[in-house]
Amino acid sequence: MENGKVNVAVIGLGFGTQFIPIYKRHLNANMYAVCRRSEKELNEIADLFGVEKRYTKYEDVLADPAVDYVHINTPIPDHAPMSIAALKAGKHVMCTVPMATTVDECRQIVELAQETGLKYMMAETVVYSREFLFVKELYEKGELGKIQFIQASHQQDMDGWPEYWPGLPPMHYATHCVGPSLALTRAQAEYVSCFGSGTIREELVPKYNSPFAIESTHIKFRDSDLSARIYRSLFDTARQYRESFDVYGSKKTFEWPLIDGEWPVIHTVKKSQAESAERVKVPDYARLLPAEIRLFTTTPISELDEVRNEASSEGADPDGTHAHLINDPGSLEGHGGSHPHLAHEFVSALIEGRDPFPNAVQSANWTCVGILAHESAMKGGEKIYLPEFTLLP
């Protein structure tokens, strides 16, 4: 860390490319290096965004003393091994979800973070989405009243995705549901009970020995009267893609829209039947960010057209931002505008010497909920407690 800036190496240049222009504009970040196995693709992307330091081997990134932290955006099976290797090499880690695919891998990451004092953050998008930030604001202002129940879902058709996806147990990728359910009140999961329902195609079952089309889990919150329900599907279930989050309060309730493109609904207690429910436009929360990266929460079409025209007129694009907008304009609004919030949270945590949210223990708690929920489903709904290492003092 030099001159109040941290050197970040972005690992994996699919989803990872969406963070490069954010880091390039952040006043406390230096977009230092990128890493991709394919040298041709590595150079194409690095040239596009003007990143000089390039690696095709992750081991070489970890051996570079100038790298302060790695931002891992690789396939799910690589998350835990790469995070563990980075912590052992003395690097801070931000990693896309999920943290790991086994309880033991989560334990190793937590223990390494505690032993080394290095920072780890699972980059859960939903807890920095504009929808979650809206509900959080309502909660903190007391407008929801007492929280009575939370439910969340993540349904997506994963047919045709990379080779590790077919047959993946739905709950092994549940952090988009678990994260917001626990994050709103900063709760911790104490135990879970999960049921599987339906069956997926026979050819999808053998890889993970997981037969269920849908898994639904109840989470008991530690030291609380609250519980949450989450449900997930990945295959052979007819449903438009949806990540939802519903919060039932004594004064107001927030419900995610059923269909993409609609606004969520607020229900208010003690109003007439006709007036008790209303659609509400969720505001953007760019104001929570430094001015330099606010544009990455959302960009109106008028501004996007202006950027396209400017980029094509001279071909000048010193920081890669224009190319980012042209190649993938939808990404600016992807994941509820969460990407700049995630980057800013981790960079700020390193600069300020504090834990990011979620830290290693919280990330493990959220991730292990899903892993143990699937185990519960395979055991007919047996109640399973979260291990001690996933619980904060």
pLDDT score for 334: 65
Instruction: Identify whether 134 is part of a domain.
Output: yes
pLDDT score for 159: 95
Instruction: Identify whether 291 is part of a domain.
Output: no
Instruction: Identify whether 122 is part of a domain.
Output: no
Instruction: Identify whether 69 is part of a domain.
Output: no
Instruction: Identify whether 250 is part of a domain.
Output: yes
pLDDT score for 165: 93
pLDDT score for 321: 40
pLDDT tens track for 175-230: 999 999 999 999 999 999 999 999 999 999 999 999 999 999 999 999 999 999 99
| 8 A C-beta contact, residue 215 and residue 168 | no
Give whole-number Cα distances, 1 to 6, 92, 197, 218, 346, in Å: 5, 12, 50, 43, 14
CA distance 119 to 346: 9
Instruction: Identify whether 50 is part of a domain.
Output: no
Report residues of the chain scoring pLDDT below 70. Answer: 299-334
Instruction: Identify whether 220 is part of a domain.
Output: yes
Establish whether the linkage from the previous residue to 98 is cis, with ω within 30° of 0: yes
| 8 A C-beta contact, residue 370 and residue 215 | no
Domain that holds residue 183: 127-283+364-390
pLDDT score for 7: 98
The CA-CA-CA angle for residues 166, 170, 175, to 5°, reads 120
Entry pTM: 0.91
CATH code at position 205 = 3.30.360.10
Would you mind telling me the total number of residues written for the chain in this entry?
A: 393
Instruction: Identify whether 31 is part of a domain.
Output: no
Instruction: Tell me the residue ranges of DSSP E strands in the chain.
Output: 6-11, 29-35, 53-55, 69-72, 92-96, 120-123, 147-155, 189-197, 214-221, 227-233, 242-249, 252-255, 265-268, 277-279, 384-385
Q: Residue 269 carries which DSSP code?
A: T
**Structural domains counted in the chain:** 1
